[in-house]
Amino acid sequence: MNHDTNNGHLLLFRGTNWHRDLAPEEIQRIMGDWTAWFDGLQQKGMIVAASPLEREGHVVTGDAHTDGPFAESKESIGGFFMLKTTTMDEALAIARMCPALPYGLKVEVRPVAPACPAARMVEEAKAHALA
């Protein structure tokens, strides 16, 4: 599967409690490193969008609406960076620089699709039917 894209890559930061057992001074140091990492990417013009997320939220399904995600979840998404990158290798190299990785935070790297996969499937089926 080709992971190169002109649409960029999304870094999803998973784990909202990576700092739980750290001293305030250590958290402050790591957040300073995080700010420097982000500022460097921004100065290079690589940040399209970025934001931390609140711990509270809601999950909506076809027949229900529940409170969540839950703040204690190790897989909760704590924030994101949308990057101007063209290759997965480039996006992975950036993700590996995340200052909170040694403390349990995980970074999921996903290529941004040019269109919804379901919409692409419909278009491909139409094109195949016309051929």
> Would you say residue 4 lies in a domain?
no
Find tokens 């609406």 and name the residue.
65
Q: Residue 2 falls within a domain, yes or no?
A: no
The CATH number of residue 56's host domain is: 3.30.70.1060
Give me the number of domains the chain comprises.
Answer: 1
Range of the domain at 98: 9-130
Q: Which two tokens stand for residue 27?
A: 């958290």
40 inside domain:
yes
pLDDT in tens, the chain (131 residues): 556 668 899 999 998 888 989 999 999 999 999 999 999 999 999 999 999 998 888 778 888 777 665 545 567 889 999 999 999 999 999 999 999 999 999 999 999 988 787 887 888 888 888 87
pLDDT of res. 81: 97
